[in-house]
Amino acid sequence: MFKYTLLLLILLPFSIFAQVSITGRVSDIITHKPIGFASVILSNSSVGNRTDTTGVFVLRNVKPGQYELVASIVGYEAYHVTLMVGNANLTLPPIELLPKSVTLNEVVIKPDAEWFRNLEIFKTELLGEGPASKQCRILNPDIVHLRFDESKNQLIGSSDDFIEIENKALGYRIKYLLNTFNKDYNKNMIFYEGSVLFEDLPTSSPEQAERYKQARDKAYYGSMQHFLKAALHNHAEEDGFKVLKMVKIPNPKRPTDEQIKAKIAYFNTIGSYTRASEDSIYNQERLKRLPKTIFSVVPDPPVYPSIYVKHTTQRGVYVLSYTDYMYVMYTRNLDNSSNELVYRPPNTPNYETSILTFSEPNVFFDDNGHVMNPLALITEGAWGKDRVSAMLPIDYEPADAKK
């Protein structure tokens, strides 16, 4: 599951709007003294800064849209607030941070062999399996808290400060304040959630800067961010996406439980066992282990954005909703790994494919194509394998969109 950690304001391209500034002040909620050098970011964007010695901060070059502002510093609880940014500069009310409670005589546990094993699993699951993950590394792994919950068969993680990830594939240094990481071995699911800031890595030449730009554009096209923005503007097909209805149907190869039970009972009551009867009982047990339902994709008609994207009463917030599974193909990329999906229609080209499962009726997203309640959506396939290594700022625009 990704949270993926997956907000929108459209009508006109962002490029015609003025970029604005956000100003505020951070202080201690108890002493009311200013807090200097606190991190203040717009989560999942490239906008962030630190407070000065008087607790004041300024965030510049903010594009219109909905954002989560996060203020944090070691020793305090992180502060979160949702902002809707328009075309005018914003001055925020005072931000007051609550000191974390300190436990006396706290025992510091040094990393051991189990922690290092868990760290390797954590890095693989957080960074993803795409080609970009091979060019990513965590610079400060010692701040990651990891533990294995044997009763739940889950690997659980978090961090008190920003995990710094160097992504040389896309040219970003990612600062990730990890609230929750959960790898559930029983359900074979991954969930992670936190606040993210993107910073550009320095470039040594114009050619390197161009390579980063091309890599970022490649990561953007076909992503969920691209899909949601295209669907919102009702040009998903024009942008290369094809959405089909996916359903569960009774497995035609599996008899009903009642039929299997009756067959087994019949063979058990035969006076003497024969090889044929033994084979028949074995065959019924084999049929019993088959799944009761299988996936089936309805090839026609396609599912259009008017069916699964709706507006809400809140400006800049939209709903992705569908009663069945969504089978999303990006027809401009081929991907042989799509054959590993839970189901693939016969005679279908190896398009880059993702499957969306709705764990809640409504998935909310904004103008930037950023999912606001990621627990409501489970992703499989292309969108489920890249993860942090393919993440882009929510305010990212590919080169041709800026023209």
Tell me the pLDDT tens digit for each residue of 85-137.
Answer: 888 999 999 999 999 875 544 444 556 789 999 999 999 999 998 888 999 99
Helix, strand, or coil (residue 161):
coil
Write the single-letter amino acid at 277: S
Task: Confirm if 401 and 220 have CB atoms less than 8 A apart.
Answer: no
Helix, strand, or coil (residue 127):
helix
Residues in the chain with pLDDT < 50?
Answer: 1-17, 104-108
Task: Confirm if 383 and 2 have CB atoms less than 8 A apart.
Answer: yes
Helix, strand, or coil (residue 250):
strand
Q: Quick one: angle between helices 257-268 and 275-289, nearest 10? A: 160
Please tell me the predicted confidence (pLDDT) of residue 263: 84
Please tell me the predicted confidence (pLDDT) of residue 130: 80
Prediction pTM value? 0.82
Please tell me the predicted confidence (pLDDT) of residue 150: 95
Helix, strand, or coil (residue 204):
coil
Query: CA-to-CA distance for 303 and 283, rounded, in angstroms?
Result: 40
Among the listed residues 149, 144, 146, 147, the one whose alpha carbon sits nearest the alpha carbon of residue 186: 149
Among the listed residues 16, 360, 91, 44, the one whose alpha carbon sits nearest the alpha carbon of residue 223: 44
Burial of 242 (0-12, 13-18, 19+ CB in 10 A): middle
Please tell me the predicted confidence (pLDDT) of residue 315: 84
Query: CA-to-CA distance for 377 and 189, rounded, in angstroms?
Result: 12
Alpha helices in 128-222 (DSSP H): 206-220
Burial of 4 (0-12, 13-18, 19+ CB in 10 A): buried
Query: CA-to-CA distance for 396 and 63, rounded, in angstroms?
Result: 10
CA angle 225, 209, 137 (to 5 degrees): 65
